[in-house]
A and B are shown apart, each in its own frame.
Chain A
Amino acid sequence: MSGAASLINSHRHERPALEDGALARRLLIGGATAFLGVVLLLPLVVVFSSALKQGFGVYFDAIADAEALSSMRLTLLAAAVSVPLNLVFGVAAAWVISKYEFPGKGLLTTLIDLPFSVSPVVVGLIFVLLFGAKGWFAPLLQALDLKIIFSVPGILIVTTFITFPLVAREVLAVMQAQGSDEEEAALTLGASGGTIFLRITLPKIKWGVLYGVILCNARAVGEFGAVSVVSGHIRGETNTLPLHVEILYGEYHFAAAFAVASLLCLLAVATLIIKQWVEWQAARHRAGERSTAPVRPKPTLHKGIAP
């Protein structure tokens, strides 16, 4: 009897709480899903439906257009140059900051974030001031017959600058969380610096590096503001994919603009899928060693893919 009574009692006590929880949970999940649907999924649907509104013929013509192909090549070149550079410099900066003590370390750490704290347009203008026709280095560039602004090198430089923090920050976070004990242990066992980096440090940071590279690549492909300032918009020469989309849109070629934009969207979706996979792999890896290594805070997307 008493058992049944307590059951009923507990039932009566818990029911309202449970219902409240379920209601709140449903509202929150529903709200978040609706928000994501309107803000993220709907635009994606609009991009693809607008791109295909005039049929596949127009879609493929827009993509196969000579200017579109040229902008694709330039965008891929920008990513192909900036990602390896930032991989090397990012890992080097993270290594130096996490392993050594030196004066100005705090300043260096702050400087890594500089490209994120300055508006991309301002970044573009800074490089125009440095390398433009009336810039600081103008006499030198003229003497060497080099052109940076309104030319491909300018686009590569600003893309590299803008995307610098992505690898460095990811790798630095991982390195600082892991400390240097394993490296010191390897050192006492007689390993050289190169061996320590390749056999101890790199296996520990590889997921952080990969994650940084993915974000860096996504940003390099999608960068608009800074590139727009230094590009000069020379068709078939200095237009990247995002700039090409803007030009098409400005000239009322909506279907073509959305067709090219859909390429960027596909790339974004692919990036998200790869990113998810990397996070899943990294989490699995961490779960394996959670008892030895401090758990690293879950990586967050620093900034959107497009400006």
Chain B
Amino acid sequence: MSVNVKELSKRFGGRREVVGVDRVSFECPEHRITSLLGPSGSGKSTLLRLVAGLEIPDGGAVCINGEEVTQVPVRERNVGFVFQNYALFSHMTVFENIAFGLKVHGATASDIRARVSELLSLVQLQGYDKRLPDQLSGGQRQRIALARALAIRPRVLLLDEPFGALDTQVRVELREWLHQLHEQTQVTTLLVTHDQEEALELSDHIVLLKDGEVEQVGTPSELYERPKSAFVAAFLGGAKVMTGRVVGGQARFADDALTASVDLAEGSIVEAFIRPHDVRLAKAKGAMPAKVARVERLVRVGSFVKLAVVLPDGDRLSVQMQNDLFEEHALAPGDNVLVDLRRAQVTPRPNYTI
């Protein structure tokens, strides 16, 4: 079942701290995971609630499997919704939680038992049926919440920051587990997250949102390799955006300290999206002082080293180097270095007005 969102708008007249969305359109292809990614305040949760029917849009349409459901009430939409804080029924056992949707749909007791035990094994929590939600860990609760949402065989699974309340290790485990679960169930899934890593790892498509509008839609690699805007580049992979000019067949940035060969018209203004691991550093020996940057600070973070580099014009650049490469260069704070932009993406600046 695919989901189509067309020109969807929702305003919240200034009340509450909820963000609206403005004429948003995107598509979630069948059997795929699509992520709604964006910083807090980008309207991604609002969008998910609009798709679920928990909010009524001011304009636009939501279609599930080609059929418009904009006017269909939530309880008839048959969507599975998983909340960030689980929203398990705290006074019901795990069994009763998962059985709830089946019961209100009038399933027989034996069907309910069979379906619940099937779901418990799907989320690998067999034997937990008599527990109350407060007797489970955060990760277990979230898996029960998923089982409960899947119980009614939803047409679409909607996940609102499903791992947001968990600590890093559990989050990474559950991410892997959700991927496997999706391989088994093949349910069309719409995932809201502010975590770029989660979106890049889990989804087939990403809808990147900013201030209630779509910034870019594409596969994770499209968004990562070819960001359409400085915002996308900065949000995915933490790229620093620098503006420069093409002189002598080279794009030059930061008082000529950074250069990259480009095939662009002489004198045109360009933008570089520089990710911390796209930069190569080499010790400067006898180079022109104007082109020399300085290592200000370095921190070892597990398998790589983070460096803060000060460019000749005073601007700062963060750089990541793998441990082995770092050892090779043997850099230390205060060292003068040459910065090589070889792998950074340089594009003509779309808007020439400054």
Chain B stretch 132-187: residues in CB contact (< 8 A) with chain A: 132-134, 141, 145, 148-149, 151-152
Q: Known contacts A101-B15, A288-B134: does B152 contact A189 (CB below 8 Å)?
A: yes
Complex CA distance for A292 and B131, rounded to whole angstroms: 14
User: Does B326 make an interface contact (CB < 8 A)?
Assistant: no
Contacts of B285 in A (CB 8 A): none
B100 to chain A: closest residue by CB: A189
B54–A188 touching, CB < 8 Å: yes
State the Cβ distance, B296 to closest chain A Cβ, in Å.
44
The proximity string for A residues 170-196 relative to B, scoring 1 for CB distances below 8 Å and 0 otherwise, is 000000000001101111111110010
User: Does A10 make an interface contact (CB < 8 A)?
Assistant: no
Contacts of B78 in A (CB 8 A): 190
Complex CA distance for A105 and B39, rounded to whole angstroms: 31
Per DSSP, chain A at the interface is helix
User: Does B79 make an interface contact (CB < 8 A)?
Assistant: yes
A184–B91 touching, CB < 8 Å: no
Contacts of B52 in A (CB 8 A): 188
B90–A293 touching, CB < 8 Å: yes
Q: Known contacts A289-B134, A290-B134: does B87 contact A187 (CB below 8 Å)?
A: no
Complex CA distance for A199 and B91, rounded to whole angstroms: 10
Chain B stretch 86-101: residues in CB contact (< 8 A) with chain A: 86-91, 100-101
Contacts of A293 in B (CB 8 A): 90
User: Does A73 make an interface contact (CB < 8 A)?
Assistant: no
The proximity string for A residues 279-293 relative to B, scoring 1 for CB distances below 8 Å and 0 otherwise, is 000000000111111
For B76, give its contact among A184, A190, A195, A292 (CB under 8 Å): A190
Contacts of B88 in A (CB 8 A): 182, 185, 292
Q: From A182, A290, A292, name the one whose CB has the most chain B CB atoms within 10 angstroms.
A: A292
B133–A181 touching, CB < 8 Å: no
User: Does B105 make an interface contact (CB < 8 A)?
Assistant: yes
Complex CA distance for A191 and B100, rounded to whole angstroms: 9
B104–A189 touching, CB < 8 Å: yes
Contacts of B276 in A (CB 8 A): none
Complex CA distance for A189 and B52, rounded to whole angstroms: 11
Contacts of B104 in A (CB 8 A): 186, 189-192, 195
Contacts of B145 in A (CB 8 A): 185
Number of interface residues of B (CB under 8 A): 33
Chain A stretch 108-165: residues in CB contact (< 8 A) with chain B: none
Complex CA distance for A92 and B73, rounded to whole angstroms: 22
User: Does B74 make an interface contact (CB < 8 A)?
Assistant: yes
B97 to chain A: closest residue by CB: A185
User: Does B220 make an interface contact (CB < 8 A)?
Assistant: no
Contacts of B85 in A (CB 8 A): 181, 292
Complex CA distance for A199 and B15, rounded to whole angstroms: 31
For B86, give its contact among A101, A199, A290, A292 (CB under 8 Å): A292
User: Does A204 make an interface contact (CB < 8 A)?
Assistant: yes
User: Does B80 make an interface contact (CB < 8 A)?
Assistant: yes
For A187, give its contact among B16, B74, B132, B133 (CB under 8 Å): B74
B81–A184 touching, CB < 8 Å: yes
Q: From B52, B74, B145, B151, name the one whose CB has the most chain A CB atoms within 10 angstroms.
A: B74
Contacts of A182 in B (CB 8 A): 87-90
State the Cβ distance, A195 to closest chain B Cβ, in Å.
6
For B105, give its contact among A181, A188, A190, A291 (CB under 8 Å): A190
Complex CA distance for A255 and B331, rounded to whole angstroms: 98
A190–B83 touching, CB < 8 Å: no
User: Does A203 make an interface contact (CB < 8 A)?
Assistant: yes
Contacts of A291 in B (CB 8 A): 134
A184–B90 touching, CB < 8 Å: no
Contacts of B101 in A (CB 8 A): 189-191
User: Does B329 make an interface contact (CB < 8 A)?
Assistant: no
For B90, give its contact among A186, A189, A204 (CB under 8 Å): A204
B100–A288 touching, CB < 8 Å: no
User: Does A200 make an interface contact (CB < 8 A)?
Assistant: yes
B86 to chain A: closest residue by CB: A292
B90–A292 touching, CB < 8 Å: yes
A184–B87 touching, CB < 8 Å: yes
State the Cβ distance, A293 to closest chain B Cβ, in Å.
6
State the Cβ distance, A96 to closest chain B Cβ, in Å.
17
12 further A-B contacts with Cβ under 8 Å, apart from A184-B74, A188-B52, A292-B141, are A182-B88, A184-B81, A185-B89, A188-B81, A188-B149, A190-B105, A190-B152, A200-B89, A288-B134, A289-B90, A289-B133, A289-B134
> B interface vs A, CB < 8 Å?
15-16, 52, 54, 74-81, 83, 85-91, 100-101, 104-105, 132-134, 141, 145, 148-149, 151-152
Supply 14 A–B pairs (Cβ within 8 Å), ascending by A.
A181-B83, A185-B83, A188-B81, A189-B75, A189-B101, A189-B104, A189-B149, A189-B152, A192-B104, A195-B104, A203-B91, A292-B86, A292-B90, A293-B90
